[in-house]
Structure 1
């Protein structure tokens, strides 16, 4: 049996990746005492190791390959002739991620967030790619790192790499640093893969800085582990195909736009085509409150409605493989946008004003004059926050097909 071993790892995508490759693979969540017994018993063929055992596992090994030994971190163990051999396939995965996304490292200054096992792997990768200065930052001062308070005086970094759990599901809204302080920043790498885009990645993209999450790294290291486990050869095209498949499987598609733009109808059709779940923010609010949207606005006010809307958006943002129809005003709150972008591709359903219509059930667009005013007030915001814009002025099939084509190019 081949497994992933760690603690509190129910969020991992590793099993899905191996199963897509056709291998029997499982996840085993172990406390430290159970982990020690597991390693002593050696009842496995091959394992991947994750937090918090990437360094602790070393004492159980008979042999380490050169990279693992140099870094002092092991995340893959192969049993061969009753000997345990340790490897660091995270090194391969991170190097693949950097090179695939054409992040220039030569002579660049690199800031690594964190001082744990993954930070050691990251430092080795960037050293081998000939980075200039590599600095680690931690919550507490050590001889090998600075603290986050020290960042005010050291801002000349070209690349920032997050190797901490900050921003990982379910605490997806967290970020350790303010990227606007770094005036020379060219790229951000976050090894977290759940959500697909952490707040750190989203913040970088807002500043037009190249930024990538960790799913590509996870897939690449899984292929390198599979090569060791099953003695099979894979190429970069195999890795990319598997990565694209995982993205499609995990990605949400979030439809934004004006009331009566057709978001709900389009979302239902997309969900059928893509075999994804369907959620409608307004429908969930009505169902939970037992009131229509007009009644909520009348009796409780718009602020209360927006609070309900934000709460539900945060809940839905933790889902994967879902088509979400958002309310017309959802994107007015930038935090809502960030939550939705974590796992989602935001598609602006741009229906021309002359094809929209006033509805009494929609208190803010109940008249033609109000509808036109809201349209003009929001239009640029819809465009600014969206990843894709599709014009909905013809058939349902046409707009759905346009969105399907756009999704293929999303990552």
Structure 2
């Protein structure tokens, strides 16, 4: 899915490219100090940006986050005391009039996310989001040629997705709440073969929402969601359950930065370095989640994994007991299983979306469908198994009653464990051997 890199002289005939006049109000009231930097990111709010981390992984230059108010952009761009910058919301169109040259991709899309100062002092801008999106689509074998593609949302990322689809020979159909095609019109578009979500529906913290029900679109052969927090949105989870190839937005995030880095330095980023950067970012976001029957060894294996990986181990049962000021059997005695499950759900939903840790869950955590969903959103879920007769039962209220009770519990939960797990590991070797096998599976998932 090649993208054009043709560069065109900047023409100010288009209204979105006309330079604004320097505001006298800015000179009198601005508190933002224009300062020099080598490379960095400008935007209004950058608190959750991964850009500094990404560029440190991809290259060896200094890269700064530079949040600024709207009234500061004019002075910053006129001073141009930088070698190169990335640009994010809400300035992707605002910076264009200050550029002497605009790349063809940015010209088509109508916005810029990368600006480079050339040796002669002129500024060149382009849009690398399109390259990142194309790499994201390529990762699941998407071929837009001759295909009808539903693009949910009408903002800047929608424009990028539509451009990539058109350049590849596809036909994008933009779906929005108030555009020419609305969500109510989707029954007329069941022949669509790809769906792209560019809306924030499903993004943290509103993770239990999805923009559409994929079961109403029977001809889909690919689903792309530009959201990368969580890694697996509810939309992607449904796609996976329906057997539809799907991918989230982390790869787009990484490869737009790869292309920006190449524009900054004039040198290609080695594929191995780009892949390592993506794996590192995925590792930062992804938990290693342990599920399985009570007494199968999750706590022991979790501690082994913490020592092996350097990650913090978080035991949800221990958190429940600590916050309740009671042991698990005491909670069951005073509040019943329903009271315990309510506490468990609150803690799982709080802890599962933090990322970068070992999450040790209770044996019954998977009984709740929302628990299963949230554990998978930012998690590699490893199910531990052990012969039922070897399961420890002390201090476990629902395992009391001997082997017969344990077998009954397993029959009830086995399908739920299977639905939640990414992989299954037998805990019949030593804890160290079991932990090593899980770590290897986790590392492979990070590189996927």
Given that residues 175 and 183 in structure 2 are in contact (C-alpha distance below 8 angstroms), is that contact kept between their aligned partners in structure 1? yes
Give the match for residue 206 of structure 1. 241
Distance 1:76 1:188 in 2: 27
Task: Give the structure 1 partner of residue 5 of structure 2.
Answer: none
Structure with larger Rg: 2
Alignment length, in residue pairs? 406
Provide the rounded CA distance (Å) in 2 between the counterparts of 1:119 and 1:192: 12
- Residue equivalent to 1:63: 101
* Residue in 1 that maps onto 2:396: 362
Alignment partner, residue 188 of structure 2: 153
Contact persistence 1:73–1:120 (CA under 8 A): no
Structure 2: distance between partners of 1:126 and 1:242: 26
Alignment of 1:234-273 (within 5 A): 234-273=269-308
Per-residue deviation, 1:271? 1.7
Q: Is the 8 A contact 2:57 2:273 kept in 1?
A: no
* Aligned match of 1:35: 73
* Alignment gaps of 5+ in structure 1: none
Question: What is the aligned counterpart of 1:108 among 147, 152, 156?
Answer: 147
What is the TM-score when the length of structure 1 is the normalising length? 0.94
Give the match for residue 13 of structure 2: none
Match of 2:31 in 1: none
C-alpha separation in 1, matches of 2:151 and 2:69? 28
Structure 1 residue ranges (4+ consecutive) displaced by more than 3 angstroms after TM superposition = 34-37, 235-238
Confirm or deny: 8 A CA contact 2:148 2:191 kept in the other structure. Answer: yes
Residue-by-residue CA offset, 1:164-197 (whole Å, 9 max, x unaligned): 2222233333321111111111111111222212
Q: 1:177 aligns with which of 212, 215, 238?
A: 212
The residue matched to 1:345 in structure 2 has which SS?
A: strand
Alignment correspondent of 1:20: 57
State how 1:7-406 maps to structure 2 within 5 Å. 7-21=44-58, 22-80=60-118, 81-131=120-170, 133-141=171-179, 145-359=180-394, 361-368=395-402, 369-406=404-441
Kindly provide the CA deviation profile for residues 281-320 of structure 1, in whole angstroms up to 9, marking residues without a partner as x: 1111101010111111111121121111111111112211
**1:6 equivalent in alignment to 2:40:** no
The unaligned stretches of length 5 or more in structure 2 are 1-37
Rounded Cα–Cα distance in structure 2 between residues aligned with 1:331 and 1:34 = 50
Tell me by how many angstroms 1:109 deviates: 1.3
Shift of 1:276: 1.4
